[in-house]
Amino acid sequence: MQLQGYGTSDSARLDATFAALADPTRRAILARLASGEASVLELAEPFAMSQPAISKHLGVLERAGLVSRGRAAQRRPRKLEARPLAEASEWLEKYRRYWEGNFQGLDTLLRELQAKGKKRANPKR
Amino acid sequence: MDAQPKTLKLATPTEREIVITRDFDAPRDLVFECFTKPELLKRWLGVHNGWVLAVCEIDLRVGGAYRYLWRGPGKTEMGMGGKYLEIVRPERLVSTEKFDAAWYPGGAVGTLTLAERSGRTLATTSLLYESKEARDAVLKSPMDQGMEAGYAALDALLAALGSDAGGRKAG
């Protein structure tokens, strides 16, 4: 089993994780693997995509250490590797939540300002 | 009121950048004001989890300076500031930024772009750091210290991944 993702430095590994997660097909593959290991054929099935195209996406996920290959001779099932995902999601999730917190406050403020603006525009008599 | 979902998107398109996009139910001149008027910024920028934006000074002209100082629980303070490099009201604001106690090397250049469509505004904030190390240190920084770490975040991501995949299969 090769987990190249663990051999590189922290930030290089995170870069690889972020890059791997940037694609909707790869996210869908990870979501499928979250419910259990699957062969390339099984992974390709829900997509209107050739097997080589799916293999290419799997290659990116494997290099990021997000997916590994099992040993079962013919099937070589892929499985989800949670550790890099956990690291990346923890970072991004915190950062994202920080900004989402800010922007929810801004939503409230904008609603308030618009309500005030409307009152000024059509004063009720 | 919130008929359309407001989704925050976070991306790292290059190795020195963080790009955050989010849409708002308001015209962009109003959003621009919220990013540039101290009394409005104090209402929303970094003011959760017991933090207040105690100082917010803005000299909104090219070359003009701005300064923010937050106070948090237990007398913690966090300050940052910079200069405005470009101001195109109400669509674009470019400024430098640096935290007083920066935990990453160098400063950053922030670009806010506001695009309006049918009365809604898409705000894109791009932060360009001096190096990949600096960018990663910012992403890694626990800006909200009180938050519990661990696998809750993974659960959330996997749930999001799951709904992504669901949408795909249905299509």
Which residue from B48, B121, B120, B61 is spatially nearest to B91, judged by alpha carbons?
B121
Strand A67-69 to strand A78-80: parallel, antiparallel, or no bridges (unpaired)? antiparallel
CA B48 to chain centre: 14
| pTM given for the model | 0.61
CB A9 within 8 A of CB A17: no
Q: CB distance A111–B150 less than 8 Å?
A: no
Task: Tell me the chain A residues in contact with residue B2 when contact means C-beta distances shorter than 8 Å.
Answer: 107
- Chain B, window 85-114: residues with a beta carbon less than 8 angstroms from a chain A beta carbon: none
B26 in contact with chain A, both atoms CB, cutoff 8 A? yes
Rounded CA gap, A97 and A103, in Å?
A: 10
Separation of first and last alpha carbons in chain A: 77
Pick B47's closest partner by Cβ from A27, A95, A105: A105
Chain B nearest CA to A72, separation (Å): 26
Contact A96 B30 (CB under 8 A): no
Q: How far apart are CA B11 and CA B64, in angstroms?
A: 29
Nearest CA in chain B to A13: B136
Task: Evaluate whether B54 touches B75 at the Cβ level (below 8 Å).
Answer: no
Per-residue pLDDT of chain B (171 residues; tens, 9 = 90+): 445 667 788 888 888 999 999 999 999 999 999 999 999 999 999 887 788 999 999 999 999 999 999 888 777 788 899 999 999 999 999 999 998 877 778 889 999 999 999 999 999 999 999 998 888 878 776 443 323 222 333 334 444 544 544 444 333
Phi, psi of A84 (to 5 degrees): -60, -35
Chain B residues with beta carbon closer than 8 angstroms to that of A24: 164, 168
**Can you spell out the DSSP letters for B13-57?**
-STTEEEEEEEESS-HHHHHHHHH-HHHHHHHTT--TT-EEEEEE
Contacts of A56 (CB under 8 A, 6+ apart): none
